[in-house]
Structure 1
């Protein structure tokens, strides 16, 4: 049977990459760079969509709705679709991985991710084609979710397996740096166009440029990651069944409880994730006069703080253990949440308070998020580490972050900003409960 052209081409790419790296030993530093580049490209795609869900889509795709709050809620409902699609994408792409190899899976996923994001830049508005524009937007958002699941390459696990035991916390935080880096690039691009273009030009064509950039960024990330996937070290781990894709349903038969508990361990961090990135932009846009371009610069600075806090989480985890670091960060999130309940108007009416909320929130997010990947993978044995880490992460994102902007904006618009704190407090409680149930396993971390 003749192989499909796309599969044959990807297999040829893998053979060429393997030949090019036949005598090259991959160092942990190279793995780290590949991981960060890959994660940055993925987060860039998602943050571009998230920011546009506030600043663009309510006016371009939901212009039939005169109430901007309702239009933004519709936009956030589309935003959530990708997180629902991610577990489905893991099932599909793990099957592709088993049948055709990781290079085929990774190439397909990153082209789908970059292509879906870039295609959004060409979508006609609601004023041009009506409800068809919304269906196309939703379809491309689902494609993003499927593709992000397929982009799971196992390099974070490879990095953890190659890490010295006394520095596992440090190595576990490296993949998480992709989140603040991706947000920095996305927020800087949007801020540039918001500041330098008129509102009419921005809504007509300016917003499309960040989406169009996504394809180029994903191609660069693809080549950086393929060079590592084709390395001897990566294939050696596959042979040891350390990073072998297994059927999702087999994983659930053996580790269903581990997957569910693992999904709730990082819930506090993931609940905070969009409440310092996407939600504040929506609230300020709807209820204050502060320019969005200016606030994106504030968030850019917050992302720098977040990157520093992620690095600090690695140092702290190596001193006190990953479980204690997660307990500490969950406690800080709970305190931050209670402060938001007690003094919600600080964020709502004061520019200084808004800046403090974002800066402190990003700092706590970095401390919490920095060790979530290690917490997920540490629960599973070597055979189920690769698939289990992917599925657990998908579920954590879906429950913790996927619906956060939609739910919190709806509740806060009706009952006040104290709802932000209550939502965060529920996430912190879920994390603390999961850590309590998981304490016998995580003492080994």
Structure 2
């Protein structure tokens, strides 16, 4: 009798068994949802940045020692992009699993695949041991990460935004975005500590592997924290009352594909800037003889500034509207693109200026960029549409940004990186102009 009341319509016995673990009733508060969202996003971004930093500091020499450092880093960034290419396929596969077995089962499988793919990189052999197979294994593990990331959407960010008071939507929208600066700060701190305490030979031999083990442990802890929320009867009822149930992706695209496309492009300026202040500048500075430890320290400070800026974006958006803030921040990113990238060649003072200004703009824009169109989806497609829009935004805006930026900078100079960023800002402004109906809803 009890079990029959626990699961939503798409649940199976596996999902209902998970619900029974947390069957004791308690009130569902927005704070509970916010904690689950922050934990989930922080762990995902920690995984993300551990791999990104290793793509600059480790993989070029470990996997591609027979080419120049610039070419090796470009190869590393090409493999970096594979996760974003694989992510949509993972999203479709895990949505099927969600419909058949429920979001708790889907999330468990996705998080273990993500953690397993990440931990496997800790055992990666180098080119010296297995030749080209090392690159193939790295690509395989990166694809595994991408497929898993397609399944980590648990619906909590959409649930959080839909339960936000009408006058606090901007504040609640920024909460999931706090995970990015938190994940970056921790990942940069771990690598800076290892670089500072180990000889470079030891770091390249075994030291760099520890962050990948840490990522696996964090994923396991985060999994249980998130399951503790989404498997409770109260959350199941809340998901159902908001009609946050998976729908077929093809049908969603037929009926509401325009919202997905405009949602992805509305975030383009922010997502392009995301990699141009986190991944690309580290590669540029290290390739030009700069200190990795010093620049990781700058990134840690930048992450702290970004955390404050993301928080501020919530308060500002509630005063002037999310669409206005996204438009103004995109225009400011466009202005920033005209002069800031060249600062990376102006020594420490230029690097600090580039990074701090960049993280301020990133925090203001990124804080409101994801999930901005969630409320525009019909109830039938809200769950699938929100997850698909997030996947599309990362693919369009971020997948190839480090690769494109380093290629352009190495061939045409840093001014070309500014042109690349400017194109992203223009796309965001265009998407906001086209989607006036959403603008009125989200303001």
Matched residue, 2:37: 35
Q: CA deviation at 1:20?
A: 2.5
Equivalents in 1 of 2:342, 2:389: separation in Å? Answer: 36
SS of 1:124's partner is coil
Matched residue, 1:313: 313
Q: 1:272-287 maps to which residues of 2 (within 5 A)? A: 272-287=273-288
Q: 1:234-253 maps to which residues of 2 (within 5 A)? A: 234-240=235-241, 242-253=243-254
SS of 2:66's partner is coil
Superposed CA RMSD in Å reads 1.4
Matched residue, 1:56: 58
Matched residue, 1:113: 114
Q: 1:193-212 maps to which residues of 2 (within 5 A)? A: 193-212=194-213
**Which has the larger displacement, 42-51 or 240-249?**
240-249
Residues 25 and 232 in structure 1, CA contact (< 8 A), matched pair in contact too: no
TM-score normalised by length of structure 1 = 0.94
**Which has the larger displacement, 10-19 or 188-197?**
10-19
Residues 376 and 393 in structure 1, CA contact (< 8 A), matched pair in contact too: no
Matched residue, 2:363: 366
Q: CA deviation at 1:351?
A: 0.6
| Cα separation, partners in 2 of 1:208 and 1:39, compared to 1, 3 Å | same
Matched residue, 2:103: 102
Equivalents in 2 of 1:309, 1:50: separation in Å? Answer: 22
Q: 1:137-156 maps to which residues of 2 (within 5 A)? A: 137-156=138-157
Q: CA deviation at 1:241?
A: 5.6
Q: CA deviation at 1:398?
A: 1.0
Equivalents in 2 of 1:141, 1:208: separation in Å? Answer: 15
Equivalents in 2 of 1:428, 1:368: separation in Å? Answer: 11
Equivalents in 2 of 1:109, 1:430: separation in Å? Answer: 32
**Which has the larger displacement, 295-304 or 229-238?**
229-238
Matched residue, 2:47: 45
Residues 337 and 422 in structure 2, CA contact (< 8 A), matched pair in contact too: yes
Residues 343 and 353 in structure 2, CA contact (< 8 A), matched pair in contact too: no
Q: CA deviation at 1:103?
A: 0.7
Deviation by residue 1:99-142 (Cα, 9 ceiling, x = unmatched): 01111100000000011001100011111011111111101101
Equivalents in 2 of 1:64, 1:290: separation in Å? Answer: 22
Unaligned runs of 5+ in 2: 1-11
Equivalents in 2 of 1:13, 1:243: separation in Å? Answer: 16
Q: Which of residues 334, 346, 350 is equivalent to 1:349?
A: 346
Residues 15 and 101 in structure 2, CA contact (< 8 A), matched pair in contact too: no
Q: CA deviation at 1:51?
A: 0.6
Q: Which of residues 371, 377, 382 is equivalent to 2:379?
A: 382
TM-score normalised by length of structure 2 = 0.95
Q: 1:110-189 maps to which residues of 2 (within 5 A)? A: 110-189=111-190
Equivalents in 2 of 1:19, 1:416: separation in Å? Answer: 57
Equivalents in 2 of 1:400, 1:88: separation in Å? Answer: 17
Residues 26 and 231 in structure 1, CA contact (< 8 A), matched pair in contact too: no
Matched residue, 2:430: 433
SS of 1:397's partner is helix
Equivalents in 1 of 2:425, 2:234: separation in Å? Answer: 38
SS of 1:375's partner is coil
Equivalents in 1 of 2:424, 2:303: separation in Å? Answer: 21
Unaligned runs of 5+ in 1: 1-9
Residues 87 and 395 in structure 1, CA contact (< 8 A), matched pair in contact too: yes
| Cα separation, partners in 2 of 1:18 and 1:27, compared to 1, 3 Å | farther
**Which has the larger displacement, 21-30 or 128-137?**
21-30
Q: CA deviation at 1:347?
A: 1.7
Q: CA deviation at 1:290?
A: 2.2
Q: CA deviation at 1:16?
A: 4.6
> Once superposed, which parts of structure 1, at least 4 consecutive aligned residues long, lie more than 3 Å away?
10-14, 16-19
Equivalents in 2 of 1:88, 1:433: separation in Å? Answer: 28
Q: Which of residues 405, 408, 413 is equivalent to 1:411?
A: 408
